[in-house]
Amino acid sequence: MGKKVRIRPISICLLRRGDEILVHEGYDAVRQGGFARPLGGGIDFGETSAEAVVREIKEEVGADITGIELLGIVENIFVYEGESGHEIVFVYDGQFVDQSLYGRESLAVVEGKRKFEAVWRSPDVLRHGPCPLVPEEIWDFL
């Protein structure tokens, strides 16, 4: 029997540096295209979406955030690496407590055993570059 199909609740944070936002750039080998997504992740059972976004940013970049504000909720139905996915995405605004992080061009991110970089990207790069912002509905909050 295969993996259960389910809707995954997640929280992401629009961390902003001027007009840029901090994103992880990924690649879908099946679709042969890139994408950019703000940092965040799954909401654990018994945890609020606000608690989840604070925890996820702390786990991923080792930094605290403050001033979190729920901007909205979007439903994201997508295909990644040939597999269908369905998420309910709580989109938050927030700021790093450590202001020095805004001076870095990238931040090291750890997610479980995976390690990657998060980078600051302008709206122009996210609209016209090789890694478009996902889910697209996030544009409504920028």
pTM above 0.75, yes or no: yes
pLDDT band at 5 (very low <50, low <70, confident <90, very high): confident
Q: Which amino acid is residue 89, in one-letter code?
A: V
Give the tens place of pLDDT for each residue, 125-137: 999 999 999 999 9
Give the tens place of pLDDT for each residue, 16-33: 999 999 999 999 999 999
- CA-based torsion, 37, 23, 116, 131: positive or negative: positive
Give the tens place of pLDDT for each residue, 57-105: 999 999 999 999 999 999 999 999 999 999 999 999 999 999 999 999 9
Closest CA to 21 of 129, 139, 126, 121: 121
Q: What value does the mean pLDDT take over residues 33-61?
A: 97
Fold classification of 8-134 is Nucleoside Triphosphate Pyrophosphohydrolase (3.90.79)
Contact 73, 91 (CB under 8 A): yes
CA distance 113 to 111: 6
DSSP string, the chain: --PPP-PEEEEEEEEEETTEEEEEEEEETTTTEEEEEESEEEPPTT--HHHHHHHHHHHHHS--EEEEEEEEEEEEEEEETTEEEEEEEEEEEEEESSGGGGG-SEEEEEETTEEEEEEEE-HHHHHHSSS-BSSGGGGGG-
- What is the domain partition of the chain in residue ranges? 8-134
Residue with tokens 């920028």: 142
